[in-house]
Homo-oligomer: A and B are copies of this chain.
Amino acid sequence: MSEKIKIAVLGYGNLGRGVELAAQNSKDLELTAVFSRRNPSEVKTCGAPVFSADEILSHKGKFDVLVLCGGSATDLPTQTPEFALNFNVVDSFDTHAKIPEHFAAVDAAAKKGGKVGIIAVGWDPGLFSLNRLFGESVLENGSSYTFWGKGVSQGHSDAIRRIKGVVDARQYTVPIESALERVRAGENPKLSTREKHLRECYVVAQDGADKARIEHEIKTMPNYFADYDTSVHFIDLATLKKEHGGIPHGGFVLRSGATGERGENKHLIEFSLKLDSNPEFTASVLVAYARAAYRLAQKGERGAFSVFDIAPALLSPKSADELRREIL
């Protein structure tokens, strides 16, 4: 084995920690630096050295790929283009509607800096996107469906926490099994928002709070809950911590299509994920694409890439020969 690929992370929350753990599972990668906006002495990693985010430019040339582990709302739109000027970067930007402008900004910066930037890596966008692409490319006469869950939505949990009288809350997005079954049966149904997912809320209320009002405010909240069948369960804080402390997620991508002279032959392609830890799995995908970023840079590639632009072999620690012999 030749020298390991050196990666660094910027941001050490759940995702950054997940990258460290994923790199420890890998034979050909190592995490050599964590950059944080917190005081480095207060950041407790699983072994990787911690530096202040302010000094990141002084590490130029010391590692191969920077994995950006900030949020899509405010961190990544500025960070990814900024750091693509000086480093090969990978991010998990997941604001689907803003992907085109983010891609353009990263592409311009990475080309200027002579670097590779891979954006929107994870499972959705990411592995789910790939499966949407394979599905519609192979079965051109067909319909695509994406279902999410069962899993915790941080955004919806936060929205509940902002309601007066709420101490803490956890929201699960739940795919509706009967809708999934209709897709699997080849019905090609048109499904409304309400027909695809349920929202289950576990809420800790303050002592004496008006639970009926809280439940009403949740169920009628525009964008977040009003278009869904939503259930609200009041529980105590100890139960919330004990039974709802994880960050599971997952979902399904389905392509239902037909071939034959009269579309008489039906086909179903289904991809699904069941994840105990959404951030640790997302981090594992980021690490595989960090490997690809390094290899693309070694080949002289420059600019922005998405998962669509990357030959799958680049994700594997195995050589092309090994892959053909062992798993093709």
A interface residues (Cβ-Cβ under 8 A, vs B): 18, 21-22, 25-27, 46, 96, 99-100, 103, 120, 125, 127, 129-134, 136-141, 144, 184, 259-261, 264-277, 280-281, 283-285, 288, 291, 306-313, 315-317, 320-321, 323-325, 327-328
**B137:A316 contact, CB within 8 angstroms:** yes
**B120:A127 contact, CB within 8 angstroms:** no
**A281:B309 contact, CB within 8 angstroms:** no
Question: What distance in Å separates the Cβ of A276 from its nearest Cβ neighbour in chain B?
Answer: 4
**A265:B259 contact, CB within 8 angstroms:** no
**A265:B288 contact, CB within 8 angstroms:** no
| Residues of chain B contacted by A309 (CB below 8 angstroms) | 311, 313, 320
Most buried by B among A25, A136, A267: A267
**A140:B25 contact, CB within 8 angstroms:** yes
Integer count of this chain's copies in the complex: 2
Question: What distance in Å separates the Cβ of A271 from its nearest Cβ neighbour in chain B?
Answer: 5
**B312:A133 contact, CB within 8 angstroms:** yes
**A316:B133 contact, CB within 8 angstroms:** yes
**A134:B315 contact, CB within 8 angstroms:** yes
In the complex, 5 of the A-B residue pairs with CB atoms within 8 angstroms, ordered by the A residue number, are: A21-B260, A138-B288, A139-B281, A271-B272, A308-B311
A103 to B125, CA, bound (A): 33
A79 to B18, CA, bound (A): 48
A279 to B131, CA, bound (A): 21
A273 to B261, CA, bound (A): 21
| Residues of chain B contacted by A144 (CB below 8 angstroms) | 327
**B315:A133 contact, CB within 8 angstroms:** yes
A199 to B132, CA, bound (A): 33
| Residues of chain B contacted by A136 (CB below 8 angstroms) | 316, 327
| Residues of chain B contacted by A313 (CB below 8 angstroms) | 133, 308-309
- Given the interface pairs A265-B280, A280-B259, A309-B311, the reply to whether A26 lies near B140 with Cβ below 8 Å is yes
| Residues of chain B contacted by A311 (CB below 8 angstroms) | 308-311
**A21:B133 contact, CB within 8 angstroms:** no
Question: What distance in Å separates the Cβ of A65 from its nearest Cβ neighbour in chain B?
Answer: 15
**A277:B306 contact, CB within 8 angstroms:** no
**B288:A260 contact, CB within 8 angstroms:** no
| Residues of chain B contacted by A320 (CB below 8 angstroms) | 308-309
| Residues of chain B contacted by A264 (CB below 8 angstroms) | 276
| Residues of chain B contacted by A100 (CB below 8 angstroms) | 321, 324-325
Question: What distance in Å separates the Cβ of A277 from its nearest Cβ neighbour in chain B?
Answer: 4
| Residues of chain B contacted by A316 (CB below 8 angstroms) | 133, 136-137, 308
The residue from B25, B271, B325 contacting A99, defined by CB atoms under 8 A apart: B325
A285 to B134, CA, bound (A): 9
**A317:B140 contact, CB within 8 angstroms:** yes
**B267:A120 contact, CB within 8 angstroms:** no
**A267:B259 contact, CB within 8 angstroms:** no
- Given the interface pairs A100-B324, A133-B327, A323-B133, the reply to whether A259 lies near B312 with Cβ below 8 Å is no
